[in-house]
Structure 1
């Protein structure tokens, strides 16, 4: 093991952000995928815009607002499902390989953390429902600083709390923009490209690209 700390983004990397809509796909109808994609895209857009203009709202508020927008964009989806979808978001499925990979990294002596835009309550619920609370050493939420990724202060929360140099941290995210921000800060980065997206931000390249977390424990 070459890194003393393994830090993971949460949504899209450990937890499937589309699981909430998929859980109620039968009630939503044929446009469920479109609803889910708009929901996620707006959730992220709101985080970036609010950070740029210095008007922070926690990630749960942005999640609610993004879903409301998605319902307006997808009129075939019944807004009466709002409560069910938001409830499901508190208990998103983790990807199948996540528990075993994190356990293997921890067993090999690594410290395991989550660094996420999510609010503390959201992250606590997700970690517990996925039974990851026994392997995750610490959860860092941007709520502590009131700004979202990719501002450097977000990544600095880890190095400050754990008294580490950035290069001793291996950071994993499925979001290419997050990988770029972490690389700029100085982390060793691994892009978990689950959906085969084309590369971007080529001036801030990942050290490694993997289709899932599998194989990370062998490096």
Structure 2
């Protein structure tokens, strides 16, 4: 059964999650942050993911915006930064994450060649609206789907179920694209055809699901979708 629908993870896949810390570090007077922003960005992202997994397995869901704030608080304390103004700046910038440079072309090409396109993300609906509008990708998306509909985070089965419920595509008709190896593995185990965007050339996660395809960036997705 050929692929009809390309579903993308949002954070780290379409949108550059390190951009908030990088842009804050470029502001005047942020010498301390400028020296450590890559580490802070990495810690922020790691804790964001860890908290989402722990909340999923313990059944203690809160919107992803709360998870994002909690993760930033941990990262700032670990970096020994006590700056409420900087905290608010970083959080504000997280609503304005840019898309990766190839994302616009890829989404537009998929739409032009007849594929349905969507986001399936842990992000809160308001966060996703901010990212989609800021990045200018809304016109190339048929749907923006948040886990908030089922109140549990990826890689729970109920999250991936949302694709067929919202878009009417069976798992075999879906190419799921994520830059998170664990997410690509979860989607593969669910039954989606999968592409892992492995920008950092990391090893494949030792999990039951194995990504069907591994690409260095998003640019190969239209050709891949056309062959499946």
Partner of 1:97: 102
Partner of 2:128: 123
Structure 2 unaligned spans of 5+: none
Query: Taking structure 2 as the reference length, what is the TM-score of the superposition?
Result: 0.93
Partner of 1:4: 4
d(CA) in 2 for partners of 1:179, 1:70 = 26
Q: What does the per-residue CA deviation read over 1:35-55, in whole Å, with 9 as the maximum and x for residues that have no partner?
A: 111110111111111111111
d(CA) in 2 for partners of 1:125, 1:29 = 25
Instruction: Kindly state the Cα deviation for residue 163 of structure 1 after the two structures are TM-superposed.
Output: 2.1
Partner of 2:143: 138
Q: Over the residues paired in the alignment, what is the CA RMSD in angstroms?
A: 1.4
Pairing 1:53-64 to 2, within 5 Å after superposition:
53-64=58-69
Partner of 1:169: 174
Number of aligned pairs? Answer: 219
1:77 and 1:96, CA in 2 relative to 1: closer, same or farther beyond 3 A?
A: farther
The answer to whether the 8 Å contact 2:9/2:177 transfers is yes
Instruction: Kindly state the Cα deviation for residue 78 of structure 1 after the two structures are TM-superposed.
Output: 4.0
d(CA) in 2 for partners of 1:25, 1:179 = 31
Partner of 1:113: 118
The answer to whether the 8 Å contact 2:117/2:143 transfers is yes
Deviates more, 1:135-144 or 1:18-27: 18-27
The answer to whether the 8 Å contact 1:31/1:77 transfers is no
d(CA) in 1 for partners of 2:207, 2:126 = 34
Of 157, 173, 182, the match for 2:162: 157
Instruction: Kindly state the Cα deviation for residue 32 of structure 1 after the two structures are TM-superposed.
Output: 1.1
Partner of 1:14: 14
Q: Which has the higher helix share?
A: 2
| SS of aligned partner of 2:164 | helix
Instruction: Kindly state the Cα deviation for residue 203 of structure 1 after the two structures are TM-superposed.
Output: 3.7
1:215 matches 2:220:
yes
d(CA) in 1 for partners of 2:110, 2:169 = 18
Instruction: Kindly state the Cα deviation for residue 29 of structure 1 after the two structures are TM-superposed.
Output: 2.7
The answer to whether the 8 Å contact 2:189/2:208 transfers is no
Structure 1 unaligned spans of 5+: none
Query: Taking structure 1 as the reference length, what is the TM-score of the superposition?
Result: 0.96
Partner of 2:75: 70
Instruction: Kindly state the Cα deviation for residue 77 of structure 1 after the two structures are TM-superposed.
Output: 6.9
| SS of aligned partner of 2:139 | coil
1:184 matches 2:227:
no
The answer to whether the 8 Å contact 1:180/1:206 transfers is yes
Q: What does the per-residue CA deviation read over 1:77-113, in whole Å, with 9 as the maximum and x for residues that have no partner?
A: 7453001100000010110000000100010000000
